Structure 1
Amino acid sequence: MEPFPACQTSGQWTAHQSTSALAVYYKSLALKDVPGPFVTRYSKIPLLYQTITLNRTRYIHDLHQKYGPLVRLAPDEISLNHPPSVGPIYNYEKTHFYNAFEAYGAKNMFSTPDRAHHSGRRKHLGGEYTKQYMLKPENLTVIYDRVRQMVNNIVPDEPKDVFYLFNYLAQDVISGFFFGNQNGSHLLQGQDTEVFDAWHMRRQTFHWWAELPNFTKMLHSTGIANLIPGWADATKGEEIINDMTHKWMDNCDQEKAHLLTKLNQTGMSREEISAEVMDHMGAGHETTGTTLTFMIDHLSKNPAQQKKLHKELMTVDLNDFNAVDKLPYLHGVVLETLRLYSSIPASEPRIVPDGGVTLLDKFIPPHTVISAQPYSMHRQEEYFDRCLDFIPERWLEPTAKAKTAWMAFGKGTRGCIGQNIAMVTIKVAVSHLYKTFESMKPAVLSEKEDMDFKDYYMITPKNDTCTVVFRKAD
């Protein structure tokens, strides 16, 4: 986290060097008018505890429920839950939190802290992530081929773990875009499935690297990390993912026009390209896979909404994506899923720039860490009537307030670059499922299944499983 180097003198902020105790004192003094638990004026320990125990998002949401739209999380960290004020803060610089997304010792587009370097990275791939690019026939083919493979994995009237099914689909789609339609992963065909397990092994130490990087490095360098349950598995998972990423890159036809070819033309080093590829592989499958999992779980418990979706899908040719894309109820189901089951519901921290900023009549000094979280933004009655209810119809004619508060793909100039491929993949998958099948939960659920979420920044069902039964639709 950025050091807090200043104290206030006659309204101006000047450099201030001090001991750790004095630094904490000045941080506390600067944010004394921001409400929050008393202990957060002097310590980050409560926030760290909630983060590492996978409860950060709900903890922050509870604080907003108690203290209002601006809340102090730590001596130099605040959370904002006021939609009209959120947009600008996501143009601020990123914090060290994003170093946890680095790979191969190199930064990628997502972990690049400053906007200038991020823009340089984004221009290399931005064109390939536009909706116009996604809708090219050769690119739609990647998605349609994988979705058909997904449907072929379904045996009617038999329980199916859709958590794995949808994550396999999403991994195969994003790798198909990066490496070409015949290259990359083929998890839906039973190949390379160990890489999916590796992603989940790796995430066990994510928050430690994000929040306590120096301490975590020390635990690894001394060998203590190998004695902590799950940490050796996390290291092994990292090795598997690194090896698999290089395998896909090396097996790819470099002359074909796909995303890896574009990266190879940038002059970046192999390590930088590998870091970029690995980040897109992880983000591209976990987000889409999670969204589909929670969506189908919800629909399987709500047959009336499912039937309405099926009726709408019967009016279109599934191979005509432009027609599928315009279906209003399908679109509402997707947006409502992203609202209530955002795959990244957690806060993404930024740093208040020099000069500070005034928010809700309170001055926030420079170098304060600030964030907002979709989980809380999407659960405000003022912006979403019956905010806890799943109502696809609210998106048929969304209110201006709803549009302001919705941030499933982030805000500002660094919003999710992959939102178009995610939306296209989700719509193609859901349209194929619910024109062909109806779904329901098994009569007897596994004791392991729990659709509460684990808060690894990107969420998953608590025990990484979600079982559904598909039957041929009438």
Structure 2
Amino acid sequence: MISFFVLLLAVGVVALISSAFYKSLALKDVPGPLITRFTKIPLLYQTINLNRTRYIHELHRKYGPLVRLAPNEISLNHPPSVGPIYNYEKTHFYNAFEAYGAKNMFSTPDRARHSSRRKLLGGEYTKAYMLRPENLTVINDRVRQMLKNISEINHVDVFYLFNYMAQDVISGFFFGDQNGSHLLQGHDIEVFDAWHMRRETFHWFAELPKLTNFLYSSGIASLLPSWRDAAAAEQFINDMTHKWMDRCDPEKSHLLTKLLKSDLSREQISAEVMDHMGAGHETTGTTLTFMVDHLSKNPEQQTKLHEELKNVDLDDFAAVDKLPYLHGVVLETLRLYSSIPASEPRIVPASGVTLLDRFIPASTVISAQPYSMHRQEEYFERNLEFVPERWNEPTASAKTAWMAFGKGTRGCIGQNIAMVTIKVAISHLYKTYETSKPTVLPASENMDFKDYYMITPVNDTCSVVFRKVEHGEKC
């Protein structure tokens, strides 16, 4: 019996080595560390340790625009070639975004089903729909509440402030102005903590789903405090999502009404809502956090923004939207502090593809990452500097390389609500206040980022001092 198991183990090892060797030959012309020809372990290690994006960036700096990450996985950092690959089908990585045992638009792998779901929701995410009075009312109400919270205390942890505001906006958009979350008013704030506890196991579900599911089903995961907390947080978010859904008038709850009138099951609707709630607040909240932190450290750029906003009617969003310096500040923040800087993998189709004179065979996992695309000097002069003016008349190459909202037919459906919310928030904030960093920073503050696919500052905190600008005062 023992010899049988030894033989079985030996056969398994040989099969794994043979598979790795075969894949290695198929991608033999793609440069990268020698070990990546045989195993994915280095990439998994960096991913689990929240360093994947920077690790891949360093590989590109060393090996060039096409890099092997694993026996069957490559990364591309060549802007003209990136667009088409984001029309390929998604990998199992996106199963980590499922909820209630159902797929949502983002996690649906094949293009046809995704297209059908996107058509159902796409009309309500257009910019024209965002600018309807009832939708601008949701955004403006939440931003005014945010300003009220600031006026009550001038030293603020903006990481929480902006995430609360963004959660309240996206839930108001889904469920109607009076429904959904009211974190800025101190209600349901536990859901925000739950979102962040849930992150602890994300990469495990995304990269090692079978092992992770086994650890949970066997009870082993319950012995790990962070994993136990992540599971409890998932259940709390599920329950809260249903609570929001069930207290809404199905005829007057904005986007939820559209879903309820479709042929989707309750589980599919719930999975869709939960995904939009998470993506909608984490990305916008992170962008605002890094933007205000940067402006608070760069008063000369902040002054330019104050001057531009001084004579603008903030109730006229069309006028706010056209402000060139504000627009440049937003795009530069999204370039250098992309809320999702990491790679989003796709699968090379059956015909294969030729990239940079190398043939990439079918089934190869391929991706690009905004973090690296946005830091190429060839496409962005003074690439590591925050230069809002570059977007006054952006070059064609800059437009090609910029991918803060993704590329292709599966680019971020929520980019319009994100841009409108950010511009409304920043215009109100900097017409009312000037900001600076505390003289003595809290010991816990570190504005480097944790790479949870969607990034956050280390220790989830960012302190800013607000000083009200009196009417007529020069900032």
TM-score (norm: length of structure 2)? 0.95
Shift of 1:24: 1.1
Between 1:25-34 and 1:248-257, the stretch displaced more is: 248-257
Who is 2:448 aligned against?
Answer: 452
Instruction: Give the whole-Å Cα distance in 1 for the aligned partners of 2:258 and 2:154.
Output: 43
Aligned counterparts, 1:167-246, within 5 A: 167-246=163-242
2:450 matched to 1:436? no
Query: Separation in 1 of the partners of 2:154 and 2:309?
Result: 24
Helix, strand or coil at the partner of 1:155:
helix
The AA in structure 2 aligned to 1:159 is H
CA distance in 2, matches of 1:340, 1:281: 24
1:454-473 paired onto structure 2 within 5 Å: 454-473=450-469
- Cα distance in 2, alignment partners of residues 63 and 202 from structure 1: 29
Residue 19 of structure 1 and its aligned partner are, at CA, apart by: 2.8
Report if the CA contact (8 A) 1:166-1:292 is conserved.
yes
Within the alignment, does 1:22 sit opposite 2:23 as a pair? no
Aligned partners of 1:205 and 1:257: how far apart in 2?
32
Counterpart Cα distance in 1 of 2:277 and 2:252:
19
TM-score normalised by the chain length of structure 1: 0.96
2:8 paired residue number: none
* Alignment match, 2:65: 69
Cα offset, 1:221, TM superposition:
1.1
* Residue in structure 1 matched with residue 9 of structure 2 by the alignment: none
Aligned partner (choices 78, 91, 112) of residue 108 of structure 2? 112
- Matched with 1:346 is 342
**Do the aligned residues in 1 keep the contact of 2:174 with 2:253 (CA within 8 Å)?**
no
- 1:321-470 matches, within 5 Å, as 321-470=317-466
* Aligned mate of 2:284, from 261, 268, 288: 288
2-structure distance, mates of 1:80, 1:229: 37
> For the Cα contact (< 8 Å) 1:76–1:368, is it kept in 2?
yes
Find the aligned partners of 1:378 and 1:365 in 2 and give their Cα distance: 27
Render the CA deviation track for 1:174-215: whole Å, top value 9, x for unaligned. 000100000000000000000000000001000000000000
- Name which of structure 1's ranges 174-183 and 21-30 shifts more when overlaid on structure 2: 21-30
Take 1:168 and 1:472, find their aligned partners in 2: how far apart are those partners? 21
Specify which of 302, 309, 334 is matched with residue 305 of structure 2.
Answer: 309
Q: C-alpha root-mean-square deviation of aligned residues, in Å?
A: 0.9
Q: Per-residue displacement from partner, 1:322-376 (whole Å, max 9, x unpaired)?
A: 0000000000000000000000000000000001000000000000000000000
State the alpha-carbon separation in 2 of the partners of residues 187 and 172 from structure 1. Answer: 6
Alpha-carbon distance between aligned partners in 2 of 1:370 and 1:63, rounded to the nearest angstrom: 15
Q: Deviations over 1:234-257 (max 9, x none)?
A: 001101100000000000111115
Distance 1:229 1:93 in 2: 35
Which 5+ residue runs of structure 1 have no aligned equivalent?
A: 1-17
CA offsets, 1:6-38, max 9 Å, x none? xxxxxxxxxxxx933221111000001000000
Query: How many residues are matched?
Result: 457
Q: Can you give the 5+ residue segments of structure 2 that lack an aligned partner in the other structure?
A: 1-13
Q: Is the 8 A contact 2:374 2:383 kept in 1?
A: yes
Counterpart CA distance in 1 for 2:446 and 2:467 is 23
Q: Distance in 1 between matches of 2:311 and 2:114?
A: 43
* Structure 1: distance between partners of 2:240 and 2:214: 27
Pairwise CA distance, 1:157: 6.8
Residue deviations 1:58-90 (CA, integer Å, cap 9, x gap):
000000000000000000000000000000000
Cα distance in 2 for residues equivalent to 1:319 and 1:162: 24
The structure 1 segments of at least 4 consecutive aligned residues displaced by more than 4 Å after TM superposition are none
Query: Which residue identity lines up with residue 209 of structure 1 in the other structure?
Result: F
Q: Does the Cα contact within 8 Å between 2:242 and 2:270 map onto a contact in 1?
A: yes
- Matched residue SS, 1:345: coil
**What is the letter of the counterpart of residue 357 of structure 1?**
V
Which amino acid in the other structure matches residue 33 of structure 1? D
Q: Conserved in 2, the CA contact under 8 Å of 1:205 and 1:231?
A: yes
Secondary structure of 1:192 counterpart: coil
* Alpha-carbon distance, 1:155 to partner: 3.1
Q: Paired residue for 2:92, among 96, 106, 113?
A: 96
Amino acid at match of 2:446: D
Q: Is the 8 A contact 1:441 1:467 kept in 2?
A: yes
Q: 1:43 maps to what in 2?
A: 39
Aligned mates of 1:147, 1:257 — CA distance in 2: 20
CA contact (8 A) 2:97 2:275 kept: yes
User: Match of 1:71, as an amino acid?
Assistant: V
